[in-house]
């Protein structure tokens, strides 16, 4: 994989540059193409969350507890520092639980609420089968995005499944379902992923490339979230004409936070618009953030780029 970071220098520029995207200090994920200028030979693929060994989290220990749990909605309360869950008890009512660690649940009372009528933001479409339904959508705000946990109902002739798919939105109104709509989770229960590894921009045995749009943020060092197990990830800083000013090679790494301080030492870069492009020959590139940069990624052989 090759990542290129084009640097904007107005004095050398022949044409008016695209307005850079200001991203502050937020991590940049590859769930959509908001920061991506172009790609070659890459496939965006959902990474499956792993179910926790503590499942099932809610069991019928008392007579008042439901026999089964459906359509859970779980949120973390930043002020009270607890997880709060509203769960359909299978027709006998909605149950409210809290948890300090997200595993052990408590329930003391029921929270009364009145649903509001809203707009339709998602429905099954021509890519779905005739027996596919969308049960519900749970929206979670994360790093400037709305990430949707989409509860599907697949009523196939030989089986009925309830997988969770991923969706993404920038305004919480216009949604898109990710990649090939493969499951993020196969069923209910506690599951986890490594930080920011919701999807992978996967390569194959042909060289792959991802190049970002120009962006500016407030950090000081570029970091990437990458799995480079068999080949190499090259991160390059580009000028306005696409020529590499600096290159950094990463090999044999699989971690959610790889700092690349070498790309921050170019004199006179503060306040300028740069471009960042990661390139790799094998592995995964998942997310990255840098100061005043634009990124480009190139991959060869079987590998993936995630966010």
pLDDT digits (tens, 9 = 90+) for 201-259: 877 777 778 888 877 777 777 788 888 887 778 887 777 777 777 888 888 888 888 88
Report the distance separating Cα 231 and Cα 226, nearest Å.
Answer: 12
The pLDDT value given to residue 270: 40
Res 305: pLDDT? 57
**pLDDT, mean of residues 75-98:** 81
Average pLDDT estimate for 170-176: 93
Given a cut of 50, is residue 286 above it in pLDDT?
Answer: no
Q: What are phi and psi of 251, to 5 degrees?
A: -135, 150
Which of 84, 121, 42 lies closest to 307, judged by CA?
A: 42
Between CA 246 and CA 274 the distance in angstroms is 12
Across 158-174, average pLDDT: 91
Any idea which of 111-125, 139-153, 200-214, 263-277 has the lowest mean pLDDT? 263-277
Residue 66, CA distances (Å) to 60, 89, 99, 115, 280 in order: 7, 5, 17, 22, 50
CA quadruple 3, 283, 220, 26: dihedral positive or negative? positive
pLDDT of residue 171: 93
Domain ranges in the chain?
2-47+198-306, 51-99, 132-192
Q: Between 89 and 140, whose confidence is greater?
A: 140
- Evaluated on CA atoms 250, 252, 255, 259, the torsion sign reads negative
Give the residue-averaged pLDDT of 156-175.
Answer: 90
* Domain covering 2-47+198-306, topology: Jelly Rolls (2.60.120)
Give the mean pLDDT of the chain.
75
CB crowding 211-246: b at 16 or more within 10 Å, else e:
bbbbbbbebeebbbbbbbeebbbbbbbbbbeeebbb
Residue 45 has pLDDT above 70, yes or no: yes
């Amino acid at each position: 994989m090759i990542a290129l970071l084009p640097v904007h220098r107005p004095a050398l520029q022949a044409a008016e540059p695209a307005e850079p995207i200001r991203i502050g200090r937020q991590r940049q994920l590859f769930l959509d193409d908001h920061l991506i200028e172009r790609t070659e030979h890459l496939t965006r693929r959902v990474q499956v969350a792993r179910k926790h060994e503590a499942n099932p989290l809610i069991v019928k220990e008392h007579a008042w507890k439901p026999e089964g749990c459906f359509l859970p909605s779980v949120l973390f309360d930043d002020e009270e520092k607890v997880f709060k869950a509203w769960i359909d008890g299978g027709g006998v009512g909605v149950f409210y639980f809290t948890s300090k660690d997200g595993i052990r649940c408590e329930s003391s009372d029921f929270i009364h609420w009145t649903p509001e009528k809203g707009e339709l933001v998602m429905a099954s479409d021509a890519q779905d089968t005739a027996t596919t339904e969308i049960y519900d959508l749970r929206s979670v705000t994360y790093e400037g995005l709305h990430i949707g946990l989409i509860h599907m109902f697949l009523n196939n002739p030989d089986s009925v499944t309830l997988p969770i798919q991923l969706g993404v939105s920038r305004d919480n109104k216009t949604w898109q379902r990710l990649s090939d709509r493969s499951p993020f989770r196969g069923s209910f229960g506690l599951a986890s992923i490594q930080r920011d590894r919701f999807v992978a921009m996967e390569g194959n045995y042909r060289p792959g490339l991802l190049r970002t749009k120009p962006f500016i943020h407030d950090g000081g060092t570029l970091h990437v979230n990458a799995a480079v197990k068999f080949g190499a990830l090259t991160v390059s800083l580009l000028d306005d004409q696409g020529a590499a000013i600096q290159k950094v090679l990463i090999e044999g790494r699989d971690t959610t936070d790889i700092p690349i301080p070498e790309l921050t030492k170019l004199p006179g870069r503060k306040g300028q618009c740069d471009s960042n492009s990661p390139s790799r020959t094998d592995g995964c590139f998942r997310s990255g953030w840098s100061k005043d940069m634009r990124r480009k990624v190139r991959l060869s052989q079987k590998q993936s780029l995630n966010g």
